[in-house]
Amino acid sequence: MALQEFDIIRRFFTDIGPADDGLGAIGDDCATLDIPAGFSLQVSVDTLNADVHFPATAPAELIATRAFACCVSDLAAAGAKPWCFTLALSLPEAQESWLSAFARGLQRAASASGARLVGGDTTRGPLALTLQVMGLAATGAALRRGGAVVADDIWLTGETGLARAALELPVLASPAAASDEQRCYLDAYYRPRPVHGFAHAIAGCVSAAVDISDGLLADLQHVLAASRCGATIDVKALPVHSQLRDDFGEQRALDFALAGGDDYQLLLTAPTSSAATLEAQADRLGIKLTRIGEITEGDGVNLKHLPKGVALPARAGYQHFAADADA
C-alpha cells in the first residue's frame, strides 16, 4: 500500500538527531523551544531544489547529507552550536527505499552535528527540501559579517574549489561509479563538514565570519560591504588541493577556488593578536586553517600573486537570478 503523509512522518522523521534531551516529540502543531538562559537563538533557513542544488537522481542519502550540511553551515558562520531543525519536504512520490535512504543520511548528519529534528511539513510536489536550522550562541557572542577591522588577518578553514569541480563530473548524479580520483570532489560536494565546533570555540577572538557557500570572493564581499573596508587576498596562499590544479589546470582551479561556491568552509577575520589562539584551536580540532590575506582600507578585493597568464574569475560567485544562473 502506498505510504500516506502521516506514515511517512511517523516512520522516517520522528527520531532524527541525538536522543531527545527535552526538545519534545514531533506531532503537535508547533514545536516548543525553551531557549536556555544565557543563550540567544540563531536561526537560518535554506531551500534546496532538485536539479538546481543537487541532481534529482542522486542517491537520497547523499541528498540528505548535502542538504543538512549546506543549511547548518550558516550556524557555523554565526559561531552557534547546532540545536534543532525543521524540515519541509516536497516529494513527487512517496517511495519507501528513497525515504529510508534519505532518513539514514539525515540521521547521520544531524546526529554528528548535535541537532534534533523537531518538526516540519511533508507535501507532494517537485523534489525540494527546506531546512530551518536553529543554533545557540552565548548572548552577545554570535559572529556577524560586519565586524572586520583594517589590518585584521583573513583566515579560511579547509580547502576551496573541490565541490565546484564536482559539477564538472559526468558521475555527479551517480557517485558509486566514480573513480578513486574523482571521489574527493564528490565527497566535498555531497558531504561537506561544516566546522561549527571550531567556530563556536573561537567565536570570542574573531571579528567577522561568513561561510563561503556562494564563492570565496562573493562571500568576502559581503563581509567587506558590512564592515565597510577592503581586502587583499594572497592567491599563492589559497588552500587549493593539488589534484584540482592537476586535473583542471591553473586557470580553472583558481576560478573554482575563488568563485566556485559550495565549499561550506568558513572565512574569518581576526586581529593579528588572535592568530596563535586560532591556530591552536584549529590544531586541537584537526581543522586546516590558512591565513589568506588581510583587511585593508578601501572597498574592494585586491588579489596579489595572481600567477602569470591567469585571469581573474569572470564573476565572483553563484547568483540564482543571473542571466546564466544555470551554469
Binding positions for ligand ADP, rule: CB under 6 A: 9, 13, 26-29, 87, 89, 117, 119-122
What is the distance between the alpha carbons of residues 176 and 21, in angstroms, rounded to a whole number?
36
Strand partners, 88: 121, 130
User: Of these partners, ligand ADP, Mg ion, none, which one is at the site of residue 89 (CB under 5 to 8 Å by kind)?
Assistant: ligand ADP
| Residue 87 interacts with, from ligand ADP, Mg ion, none (CB under 5-8 Å by kind) | ligand ADP
Binding residue for Mg ion (CB under 5 A) from 121, 181, 246, 299?
Answer: 121
Task: Give the nearer residue to ligand ADP in terms of CB position, either 123 or 302.
Answer: 123
Q: Taking the complex as a whole, how short is the minimal distance between the CB of residue 121 and Mg ion, in angstroms?
A: 5
How far apart are the C-alpha atoms of 254 and 240, rounded to whole Å? 8
Closest CB to ligand ADP among residues 63, 289: 63
Residue 121 or residue 168: which is nearer to Mg ion going by CB? 121
Stretch that binds Mg ion, among 118-126, 175-183, 239-247, 250-258 (CB under 5 A): 118-126
Nearer to Mg ion, 119 or 317 (CB): 119
The dihedral over CA atoms of 266, 271, 272, 274, expressed in degrees to the nearest 10, equals -70
Q: Look up residue 309 and give its amino acid.
A: G
Strands of 139-229 (E only): list them: 153-157, 208-211
- Binding segment for Mg ion among 119-127, 128-136, 169-177, 211-219 (CB under 5 A)? 119-127
If phi > 0 it is left, if psi is from -120 to 50 it is alpha, else beta; for residue 151 that is left
- In angstroms, the CA 261 to CA 97 distance is 31
Q: Are strands 116-124 and 81-91 parallel, antiparallel or unpaired?
A: parallel
51 touches Mg ion (CB under 5 A): no
Q: Which residue is nearest to Mg ion (CB)?
A: 121
